[in-house]
Amino acid sequence: MPLRLYNTLTQTKEPFQTVQPGKVGMYVCGPTVYSNSHVGHMVGPVIFDTIKRYLVYLGYDVTWVVNITDVDDKLIVQAAKDGVTVKDLADRVTEDYLHCLHQLGVDGIDHMPKATEHIAEIVEMTQALINKGFAYASSGDVYFDVTKAPEYGKLSHRDPEALQAGARIEPTAIKRNPGDFALWKGSKPGEPAWESPWGPGRPGWHIECSAMSMKLLGEHFDIHGGGLDLVFPHHENEVVQSESYSGKTFATYWLHNGLLTKAGKKISKSDPGTVILMSDLLRDHDPDTLRCLFLSSHYRRPIDYGPGRLDEISRGLEAFRSLFDRFERLTGTSFFTLEAPTRKSDEEKVASSIPEIDEHRTRFLEAMDDDFNTGGAFGELYELVRALNRFADTHKLETAADPEALAGYRAGVVVLKELTQILGLFLHPRVQPEATGDSLTPKLLELLVNLRARVRKEKNFALADDIRNQLAEMGVTLEDRPDGTGWKIS
Ligand SMILES: [Zn+2]
């Protein structure tokens, strides 16, 4: 079954068809850089990074754009509070955002345009919307007149009249209709401002995304993504102003990721009890664990981040780590340096000789083809690990050196690597923080390592693995080397 994706615009799963053959343009709304990234800010980037990885795997040439909103009311207020310039605040917060992306393996973004570097395009688009009769200038601001676009409401599936009545913006003498939204805002003294035909001011938030996405991806591109909370008004306004401007379809597919919740509550700056800084989480948790948190369910569903959830995921990932260790012991090759296909078209190279492995691979790809069901795909990876362990046990790979069985096992692990790469998992060995300083721990660990060596000599591999796994749960990794066993504490 070819790739199908759920489109918020049509509320159905549709087959994937690109504007240009073989090419995908993807735009995802990025952060307003007024405070350091909290855990919720990373959900979208990890999900769309995985989507890009999968599209690349399918053979598409993908251009991914994530914008940086570096001028906005929130930035102006926060910079004044901190006694710094808007630019300094924006630069500092952008740096934190980039650091978090890097830590989580989000490395596929091709362009990160800043709003302040696209003022000319925004002014041009605003003027064109006025010329076409969709927008009007008023007291130094420019507004989009929502009554001029009968399709307004088509993305969020809201009735335009209900939108008018429900608009949260108070009607003012400046606006013709309460639901009209700002394309350009006149500035007050002391605020960041750019010259425009309507006087000094700054762009509205929605128009930035239209101007930057169309500049980098063309007037009609393939995928527009963002969090579910952006469907209205942000994306609704983006569609209406872009299509009124170009007369063309703006984005073919609208993909919205579910939001992170903590014990059922949305994570939000206005509820400080729910805010967890990403930099704090990255200090205490392995990036793979955090990536798994975001990918373990379907991307459109909310992700609940509750106490213990990360520990639970981390324990689950030990199954993979034990397999990597076993693989290295048996083959002398590290999983992390193992070469595996990065394109589906290379699949003839990966046919493993173990039918069960091939079945899980097929099901993994079917899950991804079904609207990027990463949760389902991830489940297949666990099954794959179990199948590989069963294979190694049945063929007694530790004791009986059957080269054919070993080659089969190796090919199966190559399949595992091929698929984990798509989810952006296990790209690097786990980072090992400093070992503890007490003197008893090393002695106790030596004792356990020696005991384990003895039970292995007695061929009690189950007990030896049990010792390894239980230590791993406590954060101690054992490494078997030709000269003995070493250990590391995380
Ligand atoms: Zn946007």
pLDDT, tens digit, 9 for 90 and up, residues 208-253: 999 999 999 999 999 999 999 999 999 999 999 999 999 999 999 9
How many angstroms separate the alpha carbon of residue 28 from the centre of ligand 1? 7
Average pLDDT over residues 375-392: 96
User: What is the Å distance from ligand 1's center to 44 Cα?
Assistant: 12
Rounded to the nearest angstrom, the distance between the alpha carbon of 225 and the centre of ligand 1 is 9
Beta-bridged to residue 136, according to DSSP, are 143
Mean pLDDT of 444-449: 83
Residue found under tokens 């605003």: 126
The arithmetic mean of pLDDT across residues 418-441, rounded, is 77
Average pLDDT over residues 255-273: 80
How far apart are the CA of 205 and the centre of ligand 1, in A?
7
The answer on pLDDT for 14 being more than 90 is yes
211 CA to centre of ligand 1 in angstroms: 10
Q: Which residues surround ligand 1, an ion (CB under 5 A)?
A: 29, 209
pTM of the model: 0.86
How much is the average pLDDT of 196-217?
Answer: 97
Q: How far is the C-alpha of 426 from the C-alpha of 340, rounded, in Å?
A: 13
The b-or-e profile of 265-296 (16+ CB within 10 A means b, else e) is eebbeeeeebbebbeebbeeebbbbbbbbbbb
Q: How far is the centre of ligand 1, averaged over its atoms, from the C-alpha of 63 (Å)?
A: 17
Q: What is the pLDDT of residue 435?
A: 43
Give me the domains of the chain, ranges plus CATH numbers: 4-295 (3.40.50.620), 308-422 (1.20.120.640), 440-489 (no CATH)
Distance from the CA of 229 to the center of ligand 1, in angstroms? 11
Distance of CA 321 from the midpoint of ligand 1 (Å): 38
Q: What is the mean pLDDT of residues 83-89?
A: 95
CA of 446 to the centre of ligand 1 (A): 55
The Cα angle at residue 290 between residues 322 and 51, in degrees rounded to 5: 100
pLDDT at residue 262, as a whole number: 79
Please report, to the nearest 10 degrees, the dihedral formed by the alpha carbons of residues 173, 177, 181, 186 taken in order.
Answer: -20
Question: Which residue reads 């989810």 in tokens?
Answer: 423
* Cα-to-centroid distance, 209 and ligand 1 (Å): 5
Highest mean pLDDT among 152-156, 164-168, 306-310: 152-156
- At 165, the pLDDT band (50, 70, 90 cuts) reads low
Mean pLDDT, all residues of the chain: 90
Å from CA of 30 to ligand 1 middle = 7
In DSSP terms, which residues pair with 489 in a beta bridge?
476
> Ligand 1 centroid vs 352 CA: distance in angstroms?
44
Ligand 1 centroid – CA 120 distance (Å): 18
